[in-house]
Amino acid sequence: MFFEIDILIRRSGRTVHGDFKALSGLTALFGPSGSGKTSVLDAVAGLLKPERGRIAVDGRVLFDSDAGIDLAPEQRACGYVFQDGRLFPHRTVTQNLLFGWNLAPPDRRWMTPEDAIDFLGIDHLLDRMPRTLSGGEAQRVAIGRALLSGPRCLLMDEPLASLDEARREEIMRVIEKVRDELRLPILYVSHDRGEVERLADHVVPIHPK
Amino acid sequence: MLSPEEWQIVALSLRVSFLAILCTLPVAFGLAWLLARKRFAGKIVLDALVHLPLVLPPVVTGWLLLIVFGANGPVGKLLHDLFGMTLMFRWTGAALAAAIMALPLMVRAMRLSLEAVDQRYEGAARTLGAGPWRTFFEVTLPLASPGIVAGMVLGFARSIGEFGATITFVSNIPGETRTLPLAIYTSLQLPGNEAAVTRLALISVALSLGALLLSEVLARRGGLGSDGAKGSHVL
Protein backbone atom coordinates (compact mmCIF):
# COMPACT_ATOMS: atom_id res chain seq x y z
CA MET A 1 0.00 0.00 0.00
CA PHE A 2 1.31 3.44 -0.85
CA PHE A 3 -0.79 5.58 1.47
CA GLU A 4 -1.53 4.11 4.89
CA ILE A 5 -3.54 6.55 6.92
CA ASP A 6 -5.45 6.06 10.15
CA ILE A 7 -5.83 9.31 12.04
CA LEU A 8 -8.19 11.15 14.30
CA ILE A 9 -8.28 14.92 13.89
CA ARG A 10 -10.09 17.22 16.26
CA ARG A 11 -10.57 20.69 14.93
CA SER A 12 -12.83 23.46 16.23
CA GLY A 13 -15.10 20.95 17.94
CA ARG A 14 -15.35 18.65 14.92
CA THR A 15 -13.88 15.21 14.71
CA VAL A 16 -12.56 13.83 11.46
CA HIS A 17 -11.60 10.22 11.12
CA GLY A 18 -9.32 9.50 8.18
CA ASP A 19 -8.88 5.76 7.84
CA PHE A 20 -7.86 4.31 4.50
CA LYS A 21 -5.14 2.54 2.60
CA ALA A 22 -4.52 3.21 -1.04
CA LEU A 23 -2.24 2.04 -3.81
CA SER A 24 -0.40 4.54 -5.98
CA GLY A 25 -2.40 6.28 -8.67
CA LEU A 26 -4.88 9.02 -7.87
CA THR A 27 -6.83 8.56 -4.66
CA ALA A 28 -9.74 10.93 -4.23
CA LEU A 29 -10.94 11.92 -0.78
CA PHE A 30 -14.54 12.58 -1.58
CA GLY A 31 -17.13 14.18 0.64
CA PRO A 32 -19.30 17.23 1.16
CA SER A 33 -17.82 20.64 2.00
CA GLY A 34 -16.88 20.89 5.63
CA SER A 35 -16.39 17.17 6.08
CA GLY A 36 -12.72 17.65 6.96
CA LYS A 37 -11.12 16.41 3.74
CA THR A 38 -8.64 19.27 3.70
CA SER A 39 -7.75 18.57 7.33
CA VAL A 40 -6.71 15.06 6.32
CA LEU A 41 -4.44 16.49 3.58
CA ASP A 42 -3.00 19.03 6.01
CA ALA A 43 -2.27 16.22 8.46
CA VAL A 44 -0.43 14.23 5.77
CA ALA A 45 1.56 17.34 4.83
CA GLY A 46 2.41 18.00 8.47
CA LEU A 47 0.61 21.33 8.64
CA LEU A 48 -1.92 19.99 11.14
CA LYS A 49 -1.21 17.61 13.98
CA PRO A 50 -3.71 14.81 14.40
CA GLU A 51 -4.84 13.96 17.88
CA ARG A 52 -3.65 10.43 17.36
CA GLY A 53 -3.03 7.83 14.73
CA ARG A 54 -0.51 6.91 12.09
CA ILE A 55 0.45 8.19 8.64
CA ALA A 56 2.80 6.31 6.34
CA VAL A 57 3.60 7.11 2.72
CA ASP A 58 5.39 4.52 0.61
CA GLY A 59 6.39 2.61 3.74
CA ARG A 60 7.86 5.71 5.38
CA VAL A 61 6.22 6.68 8.68
CA LEU A 62 5.51 10.41 8.77
CA PHE A 63 3.42 10.43 11.91
CA ASP A 64 2.81 7.88 14.63
CA SER A 65 1.40 9.08 17.91
CA ASP A 66 2.18 5.79 19.67
CA ALA A 67 5.80 5.79 18.54
CA GLY A 68 6.16 9.54 19.10
CA ILE A 69 7.01 10.21 15.45
CA ASP A 70 5.98 13.54 13.94
CA LEU A 71 8.13 14.64 11.02
CA ALA A 72 8.27 18.36 10.23
CA PRO A 73 6.53 19.35 6.98
CA GLU A 74 9.87 20.03 5.28
CA GLN A 75 10.98 16.44 5.98
CA ARG A 76 7.89 14.78 4.52
CA ALA A 77 8.50 15.29 0.80
CA CYS A 78 4.81 15.72 0.06
CA GLY A 79 4.20 18.26 -2.69
CA TYR A 80 1.08 20.26 -1.84
CA VAL A 81 -1.05 22.02 -4.45
CA PHE A 82 -3.43 24.30 -2.63
CA GLN A 83 -6.90 25.32 -3.72
CA ASP A 84 -5.81 28.93 -4.19
CA GLY A 85 -2.40 28.10 -5.67
CA ARG A 86 -0.76 30.00 -2.86
CA LEU A 87 2.20 31.19 -4.91
CA PHE A 88 4.59 33.46 -3.03
CA PRO A 89 3.36 36.94 -3.99
CA HIS A 90 6.77 38.58 -3.64
CA ARG A 91 8.52 36.22 -6.05
CA THR A 92 8.39 35.79 -9.81
CA VAL A 93 7.07 32.62 -11.39
CA THR A 94 10.64 31.38 -11.87
CA GLN A 95 11.52 32.09 -8.26
CA ASN A 96 8.37 30.29 -7.14
CA LEU A 97 9.20 27.28 -9.29
CA LEU A 98 12.76 27.07 -7.99
CA PHE A 99 11.92 27.60 -4.31
CA GLY A 100 11.56 23.90 -3.53
CA TRP A 101 13.98 22.79 -6.26
CA ASN A 102 16.82 24.69 -4.61
CA LEU A 103 16.04 23.13 -1.23
CA ALA A 104 15.61 19.55 -2.42
CA PRO A 105 18.57 17.20 -2.01
CA PRO A 106 19.98 16.50 -5.51
CA ASP A 107 19.09 12.80 -5.35
CA ARG A 108 15.43 13.65 -4.84
CA ARG A 109 15.19 15.95 -7.86
CA TRP A 110 13.53 13.63 -10.34
CA MET A 111 12.45 16.40 -12.68
CA THR A 112 14.45 19.33 -14.04
CA PRO A 113 13.00 22.83 -14.16
CA GLU A 114 13.24 22.77 -17.97
CA ASP A 115 11.20 19.56 -18.13
CA ALA A 116 8.61 20.88 -15.69
CA ILE A 117 8.24 24.15 -17.62
CA ASP A 118 7.86 22.21 -20.83
CA PHE A 119 5.50 19.64 -19.30
CA LEU A 120 3.19 22.37 -17.99
CA GLY A 121 3.56 24.77 -20.91
CA ILE A 122 4.45 27.76 -18.76
CA ASP A 123 7.60 29.09 -20.42
CA HIS A 124 5.83 32.32 -21.40
CA LEU A 125 5.00 33.07 -17.73
CA LEU A 126 8.44 32.81 -16.18
CA ASP A 127 9.10 36.51 -15.53
CA ARG A 128 5.58 37.34 -14.35
CA MET A 129 4.52 38.07 -10.77
CA PRO A 130 1.85 35.73 -9.38
CA ARG A 131 -0.81 38.42 -9.09
CA THR A 132 -0.71 38.99 -12.84
CA LEU A 133 -1.55 35.34 -13.58
CA SER A 134 -5.00 33.98 -14.35
CA GLY A 135 -6.38 31.24 -12.09
CA GLY A 136 -5.43 28.50 -14.54
CA GLU A 137 -1.93 29.87 -15.08
CA ALA A 138 -1.37 30.18 -11.33
CA GLN A 139 -2.51 26.61 -10.79
CA ARG A 140 -0.09 25.33 -13.45
CA VAL A 141 2.77 27.15 -11.77
CA ALA A 142 1.67 25.82 -8.37
CA ILE A 143 1.72 22.26 -9.73
CA GLY A 144 5.17 22.91 -11.21
CA ARG A 145 6.44 24.31 -7.93
CA ALA A 146 5.24 21.22 -6.08
CA LEU A 147 6.68 18.81 -8.69
CA LEU A 148 10.09 20.50 -8.56
CA SER A 149 10.42 20.15 -4.79
CA GLY A 150 11.26 16.48 -5.31
CA PRO A 151 8.09 15.04 -3.80
CA ARG A 152 7.33 11.37 -3.31
CA CYS A 153 3.63 12.09 -3.63
CA LEU A 154 1.34 14.98 -4.47
CA LEU A 155 -1.44 16.37 -2.30
CA MET A 156 -4.08 18.34 -4.17
CA ASP A 157 -6.79 20.29 -2.40
CA GLU A 158 -9.63 21.07 -4.82
CA PRO A 159 -7.23 22.48 -7.41
CA LEU A 160 -10.09 23.18 -9.82
CA ALA A 161 -12.43 24.90 -7.37
CA SER A 162 -11.58 28.48 -8.24
CA LEU A 163 -11.46 27.99 -12.03
CA ASP A 164 -14.02 28.50 -14.79
CA GLU A 165 -15.18 25.62 -17.00
CA ALA A 166 -12.53 26.02 -19.73
CA ARG A 167 -9.69 26.30 -17.25
CA ARG A 168 -10.98 23.29 -15.30
CA GLU A 169 -10.69 21.14 -18.40
CA GLU A 170 -7.19 22.46 -19.01
CA ILE A 171 -5.94 21.72 -15.49
CA MET A 172 -7.75 18.39 -15.41
CA ARG A 173 -5.64 17.33 -18.41
CA VAL A 174 -2.49 18.44 -16.58
CA ILE A 175 -3.48 16.34 -13.56
CA GLU A 176 -4.13 13.32 -15.80
CA LYS A 177 -0.67 13.78 -17.30
CA VAL A 178 0.90 13.91 -13.82
CA ARG A 179 -0.98 10.73 -12.93
CA ASP A 180 -0.26 8.80 -16.13
CA GLU A 181 3.06 10.12 -17.44
CA LEU A 182 4.89 10.98 -14.25
CA ARG A 183 3.20 8.17 -12.31
CA LEU A 184 3.28 10.25 -9.16
CA PRO A 185 0.86 9.02 -6.46
CA ILE A 186 -1.73 11.69 -5.70
CA LEU A 187 -4.10 12.31 -2.81
CA TYR A 188 -6.84 14.44 -4.27
CA VAL A 189 -9.55 16.25 -2.32
CA SER A 190 -12.82 17.10 -4.04
CA HIS A 191 -16.54 17.44 -3.48
CA ASP A 192 -17.34 17.25 -7.21
CA ARG A 193 -18.58 13.85 -8.33
CA GLY A 194 -17.80 14.35 -12.03
CA GLU A 195 -14.24 15.37 -11.28
CA VAL A 196 -13.70 12.38 -9.02
CA GLU A 197 -15.22 9.90 -11.50
CA ARG A 198 -12.96 11.15 -14.24
CA LEU A 199 -9.69 11.44 -12.34
CA ALA A 200 -9.70 8.94 -9.49
CA ASP A 201 -8.32 5.42 -9.47
CA HIS A 202 -9.61 4.96 -5.91
CA VAL A 203 -12.26 6.85 -4.00
CA VAL A 204 -12.29 7.30 -0.23
CA PRO A 205 -15.49 8.76 1.16
CA ILE A 206 -14.97 11.16 4.05
CA HIS A 207 -17.97 11.76 6.28
CA PRO A 208 -18.36 14.40 8.93
CA LYS A 209 -18.95 13.01 12.39
CA MET B 1 21.76 79.63 6.31
CA LEU B 2 22.37 77.70 9.52
CA SER B 3 25.11 78.63 11.94
CA PRO B 4 27.74 75.96 12.78
CA GLU B 5 26.10 75.62 16.18
CA GLU B 6 22.72 74.93 14.58
CA TRP B 7 24.24 72.38 12.21
CA GLN B 8 25.69 70.68 15.26
CA ILE B 9 22.22 70.54 16.81
CA VAL B 10 20.77 68.94 13.70
CA ALA B 11 23.65 66.45 13.51
CA LEU B 12 23.21 65.54 17.18
CA SER B 13 19.48 65.06 16.72
CA LEU B 14 20.06 62.73 13.78
CA ARG B 15 22.74 60.82 15.67
CA VAL B 16 20.49 60.37 18.71
CA SER B 17 17.57 59.23 16.59
CA PHE B 18 19.58 56.80 14.47
CA LEU B 19 21.08 55.17 17.55
CA ALA B 20 17.65 55.03 19.18
CA ILE B 21 16.05 53.31 16.18
CA LEU B 22 18.94 50.92 15.68
CA CYS B 23 18.76 49.75 19.29
CA THR B 24 14.97 49.61 19.37
CA LEU B 25 14.65 47.64 16.14
CA PRO B 26 15.43 44.14 17.48
CA VAL B 27 13.51 44.76 20.72
CA ALA B 28 10.48 46.16 18.91
CA PHE B 29 10.51 43.34 16.38
CA GLY B 30 10.77 40.70 19.10
CA LEU B 31 7.86 42.26 21.00
CA ALA B 32 5.82 42.61 17.81
CA TRP B 33 6.45 38.93 17.03
CA LEU B 34 5.37 37.84 20.51
CA LEU B 35 2.22 39.95 20.39
CA ALA B 36 1.33 38.98 16.82
CA ARG B 37 2.11 35.28 16.86
CA LYS B 38 2.26 33.88 20.37
CA ARG B 39 -0.30 33.13 23.00
CA PHE B 40 0.88 33.39 26.57
CA ALA B 41 -0.27 34.39 30.01
CA GLY B 42 0.11 38.10 30.67
CA LYS B 43 -0.04 39.09 27.01
CA ILE B 44 -2.46 41.90 27.78
CA VAL B 45 -0.12 43.20 30.47
CA LEU B 46 2.87 43.13 28.10
CA ASP B 47 0.82 44.88 25.44
CA ALA B 48 -0.17 47.58 27.94
CA LEU B 49 3.41 48.01 29.16
CA VAL B 50 4.68 48.44 25.59
CA HIS B 51 2.07 51.13 24.99
CA LEU B 52 2.69 52.88 28.29
CA PRO B 53 5.21 55.44 26.94
CA LEU B 54 2.59 56.50 24.43
CA VAL B 55 0.11 57.61 27.08
CA LEU B 56 2.31 58.41 30.07
CA PRO B 57 3.36 62.06 30.51
CA PRO B 58 6.86 62.06 28.95
CA VAL B 59 8.23 63.75 32.05
CA VAL B 60 7.18 60.70 34.06
CA THR B 61 8.96 58.41 31.60
CA GLY B 62 12.06 60.57 32.00
CA TRP B 63 11.79 60.38 35.77
CA LEU B 64 11.43 56.59 35.64
CA LEU B 65 14.53 56.45 33.43
CA LEU B 66 16.38 58.51 36.05
CA ILE B 67 15.36 56.06 38.75
CA VAL B 68 16.37 52.98 36.74
CA PHE B 69 19.35 54.25 34.73
CA GLY B 70 20.55 57.05 36.99
CA ALA B 71 23.84 56.92 38.89
CA ASN B 72 22.17 55.09 41.78
CA GLY B 73 19.58 53.25 39.76
CA PRO B 74 19.83 49.45 39.56
CA VAL B 75 20.64 49.30 35.84
CA GLY B 76 22.62 52.55 35.82
CA LYS B 77 24.86 51.31 38.64
CA LEU B 78 25.34 47.96 36.93
CA LEU B 79 26.29 49.58 33.60
CA HIS B 80 28.76 51.84 35.37
CA ASP B 81 30.35 49.06 37.42
CA LEU B 82 30.60 46.61 34.54
CA PHE B 83 31.41 48.83 31.57
CA GLY B 84 32.15 52.22 33.08
CA MET B 85 29.17 53.46 31.11
CA THR B 86 26.97 56.38 32.09
CA LEU B 87 23.80 57.31 30.28
CA MET B 88 22.73 60.20 32.46
CA PHE B 89 23.50 63.61 30.93
CA ARG B 90 24.98 61.91 27.87
CA TRP B 91 23.77 61.84 24.26
CA THR B 92 23.45 58.05 24.60
CA GLY B 93 20.96 58.69 27.38
CA ALA B 94 19.03 60.96 25.03
CA ALA B 95 18.99 58.07 22.57
CA LEU B 96 17.62 55.76 25.28
CA ALA B 97 14.84 58.21 26.08
CA ALA B 98 14.04 58.56 22.38
CA ALA B 99 14.10 54.78 21.97
CA ILE B 100 11.61 54.23 24.79
CA MET B 101 9.29 56.85 23.35
CA ALA B 102 9.53 55.37 19.83
CA LEU B 103 9.03 51.79 20.98
CA PRO B 104 5.21 51.70 21.07
CA LEU B 105 4.87 53.17 17.59
CA MET B 106 7.40 50.74 16.16
CA VAL B 107 5.89 47.70 17.87
CA ARG B 108 2.45 48.71 16.66
CA ALA B 109 3.47 49.08 13.02
CA MET B 110 5.50 45.87 13.02
CA ARG B 111 2.82 43.90 14.79
CA LEU B 112 0.20 44.98 12.25
CA SER B 113 2.46 44.03 9.36
CA LEU B 114 3.22 40.63 10.90
CA GLU B 115 -0.46 40.00 11.52
CA ALA B 116 -1.18 40.89 7.91
CA VAL B 117 1.19 38.19 6.63
CA ASP B 118 -0.93 35.27 5.48
CA GLN B 119 0.47 32.33 7.46
CA ARG B 120 -0.67 29.94 4.78
CA TYR B 121 2.31 31.06 2.70
CA GLU B 122 4.53 29.87 5.52
CA GLY B 123 2.81 26.48 5.45
CA ALA B 124 3.39 26.32 1.69
CA ALA B 125 7.09 27.09 2.18
CA ARG B 126 7.37 24.30 4.75
CA THR B 127 5.85 21.72 2.41
CA LEU B 128 8.40 22.79 -0.21
CA GLY B 129 11.25 21.87 2.10
CA ALA B 130 12.02 25.10 3.95
CA GLY B 131 12.69 24.86 7.68
CA PRO B 132 11.23 27.38 10.14
CA TRP B 133 14.18 29.80 9.90
CA ARG B 134 14.39 29.79 6.14
CA THR B 135 10.63 30.25 6.01
CA PHE B 136 10.98 33.24 8.31
CA PHE B 137 13.72 34.90 6.29
CA GLU B 138 12.44 34.11 2.81
CA VAL B 139 8.69 34.37 3.27
CA THR B 140 7.59 36.06 6.49
CA LEU B 141 10.18 38.82 6.63
CA PRO B 142 9.90 39.93 2.97
CA LEU B 143 6.12 39.98 3.22
CA ALA B 144 6.22 42.00 6.45
CA SER B 145 9.13 44.24 5.48
CA PRO B 146 7.19 47.27 4.19
CA GLY B 147 5.45 47.55 7.57
CA ILE B 148 8.69 46.99 9.43
CA VAL B 149 10.45 49.76 7.53
CA ALA B 150 7.42 52.02 7.92
CA GLY B 151 7.56 51.38 11.67
CA MET B 152 11.22 52.34 11.74
CA VAL B 153 10.58 55.58 9.88
CA LEU B 154 7.70 56.41 12.19
CA GLY B 155 9.85 55.69 15.22
CA PHE B 156 12.58 57.87 13.76
CA ALA B 157 10.17 60.77 13.36
CA ARG B 158 8.99 60.32 16.93
CA SER B 159 12.61 60.26 18.17
CA ILE B 160 13.46 63.50 16.40
CA GLY B 161 10.61 65.21 18.26
CA GLU B 162 11.30 63.71 21.68
CA PHE B 163 11.37 66.41 24.40
CA GLY B 164 9.92 65.68 27.84
CA ALA B 165 11.62 62.42 28.73
CA THR B 166 14.90 63.66 27.28
CA ILE B 167 15.09 66.93 29.21
CA THR B 168 14.10 65.13 32.41
CA PHE B 169 16.59 62.29 32.03
CA VAL B 170 19.65 63.91 30.41
CA SER B 171 18.96 67.61 30.88
CA ASN B 172 19.65 70.24 28.22
CA ILE B 173 23.41 70.32 27.65
CA PRO B 174 24.67 72.15 24.54
CA GLY B 175 26.56 69.82 22.24
CA GLU B 176 25.67 66.75 24.28
CA THR B 177 21.93 66.43 24.82
CA ARG B 178 20.51 69.58 23.25
CA THR B 179 18.55 68.10 20.36
CA LEU B 180 16.29 70.08 18.02
CA PRO B 181 13.25 70.39 20.30
CA LEU B 182 15.42 71.26 23.28
CA ALA B 183 17.27 73.86 21.23
CA ILE B 184 13.99 75.41 20.10
CA TYR B 185 12.79 75.51 23.69
CA THR B 186 16.05 77.13 24.80
CA SER B 187 15.91 79.73 22.05
CA LEU B 188 12.34 80.57 23.01
CA GLN B 189 13.48 81.42 26.53
CA LEU B 190 15.65 84.25 25.24
CA PRO B 191 14.20 87.38 23.61
CA GLY B 192 15.16 88.28 20.03
CA ASN B 193 15.75 84.73 18.89
CA GLU B 194 12.74 84.42 16.59
CA ALA B 195 14.89 83.86 13.50
CA ALA B 196 16.76 80.96 15.10
CA VAL B 197 13.53 79.44 16.38
CA THR B 198 12.01 79.69 12.91
CA ARG B 199 14.98 78.03 11.26
CA LEU B 200 15.09 75.13 13.74
CA ALA B 201 11.32 74.73 13.65
CA LEU B 202 11.36 74.55 9.85
CA ILE B 203 14.00 71.85 9.98
CA SER B 204 11.83 69.91 12.45
CA VAL B 205 8.83 70.21 10.17
CA ALA B 206 10.87 69.10 7.16
CA LEU B 207 12.32 66.07 8.95
CA SER B 208 9.01 64.94 10.43
CA LEU B 209 7.04 65.52 7.25
CA GLY B 210 9.68 63.71 5.19
CA ALA B 211 9.61 60.75 7.54
CA LEU B 212 5.82 60.56 7.53
CA LEU B 213 5.65 60.74 3.75
CA LEU B 214 8.32 58.07 3.44
CA SER B 215 6.48 55.85 5.91
CA GLU B 216 3.25 56.29 3.95
CA VAL B 217 4.92 55.50 0.62
CA LEU B 218 6.51 52.38 2.05
CA ALA B 219 3.25 51.22 3.60
CA ARG B 220 1.53 51.63 0.24
CA ARG B 221 4.22 49.75 -1.60
CA GLY B 222 3.52 46.93 0.82
CA GLY B 223 0.43 44.79 0.72
CA LEU B 224 2.12 42.59 -1.87
CA GLY B 225 -0.16 39.93 -0.52
CA SER B 226 -3.77 39.44 -1.50
CA ASP B 227 -5.00 42.81 -2.72
CA GLY B 228 -3.01 43.62 -5.82
CA ALA B 229 -1.11 46.72 -4.81
CA LYS B 230 1.00 48.93 -7.01
CA GLY B 231 4.32 47.89 -8.42
CA SER B 232 2.83 44.76 -9.93
CA HIS B 233 4.49 45.33 -13.29
CA VAL B 234 7.97 45.53 -11.85
CA LEU B 235 9.02 42.51 -13.88
Q: What is the pLDDT of residues A187-203, one digit of tens each?
A: 999 999 999 999 999 99
- Per CB-CB distance under 8 Å, the chain A contacts of B226 are 89
Q: Does residue B225 carry a pLDDT above 80?
A: no
Mean pLDDT value across residues B94-107: 96
Total structural domains within chain B: 1
Query: Looking at the complex, does the CB of residue B230 fall below 8 Å from at least one CB of chain A?
Result: no
pLDDT band for position B230 (cuts 50, 70, 90): very low
Please report residues of A whose CB lies closer than 8 A to that of B142: 90
B51, part of any domain: yes
Mean pLDDT score of chain A, rounded to an integer? 93
Q: Is B227 inside any structural domain?
A: no
Residue at B229 is within a domain? no
Transcribe chain B into DSSP letters.
---HHHHHHHHHHHHHHHHHHHHHHHHHHHHHHHHHH---TTHHHHHHHHHHHHHS-HHHHHHHHHHHHSTTSHHHHHHHHHH----TTSHHHHHHHHHHHHHHHHHHHHHHHHHHS-HHHHHHHHHTT--HHHHIIIIIHHHHHHHHHHHHHHHHHHHHT--HHHHHHH---TTTT--HHHHHHHHHHSTT-HHHHHHHHHHHHHHHHHHHHHHHHHHHH---SSS--S-GGG-
B235 to chain A, any CB pair closer than 8 A? The answer is yes
Q: Supply the DSSP string of B65-77, one letter for each residue.
A: HHHHHSTTSHHHH
A131 contacts B228? CB cut-off 8 A: yes
What integer pLDDT is reported at residue A73 of this predicted model? 96
| pLDDT per residue as tens, chain A (209 positions) | 899 999 999 887 788 889 999 998 999 999 888 788 999 999 999 999 999 999 999 999 999 999 999 999 999 999 999 998 899 999 999 999 999 999 999 999 999 999 999 999 999 999 999 999 999 999 999 999 999 999 999 999 999 988 888 889 999 999 999 999 999 999 999 999 999 999 999 999 987 66
Tell me if the pTM is above 0.90: no
Mean pLDDT of chain B: 89
Q: pLDDT-derived band of residue B233, with 50, 70 and 90 as boundaries? A: very low
Of the partner residues A74, A90, A129, the one whose CB lies closest to the CB of residue B130: A74
What is the pLDDT at residue A208? 67
- pLDDT, one tens digit per residue, over B165-202 is 999 999 999 999 999 999 999 999 988 888 989 999 99
Per-residue confidence band for B232, with pLDDT thresholds at 50, 70 and 90: very low
What confidence tens digit (pLDDT) does each residue in B68-88 have? 999 888 999 999 989 988 898
Q: Decide if pLDDT at B229 tops 70.
A: no
Nearest CA in chain B to A84: B120
Chain B hits for A72, Cβ within 8 Å:
126, 131
CATH number for position B199:
1.10.3720.10
B126 touches chain A (CB under 8 A): yes
Is residue A55 within 8 Å of residue A61, measured between CB atoms? Answer: yes
The answer to whether residue B224 scores a pLDDT higher than 70 is no
Domain that residue B217 falls in: 4-222
Among B117, B120, B126, B127, the strongest candidate for a mutation testing the A interface, having the largest count of A CBs within 10 A, is B127
B208: in domain: yes
Give pLDDT, residue B124: 97
Averaged pLDDT for residues B141-164: 91
Give B-chain residues touching A104 at CB under 8 angstroms: 129
B40-75 pLDDT tens trace: 999 999 999 999 999 999 999 999 999 999 988 899
Q: Which of A72, A80, A131 sits opposite B124 (nearest CB)?
A: A80
Asked if residue B234 belongs to a domain, the reply is no
Instruction: Give the per-residue pLDDT at A199.
Output: 94
Q: Which residues contact B205 (CB under 8 A, 6 or more apart)?
A: none
Q: Which residue would you say has higher pLDDT here, B28 or B5?
A: B28
Contact B120 A86 (CB under 8 A): yes
Higher pLDDT among residues B155 and B218, named by residue: B155
Q: Which helix (H) or strand (E) holds A193?
A: helix A193-199
Q: In angstroms, rounded to a whole number, what is the distance separating the alpha carbons of residues A208 and A16? A: 6
- Band (B222; pLDDT cuts 50, 70, 90): low
Q: Of the candidates A80, A88, A92, which has its C-beta nearest B127's C-beta?
A: A80
Give pLDDT, residue B215. Answer: 77
Give the closest-approach CA distance of B90 to chain A in angstroms.
Answer: 43
pLDDT of residue A209: 61
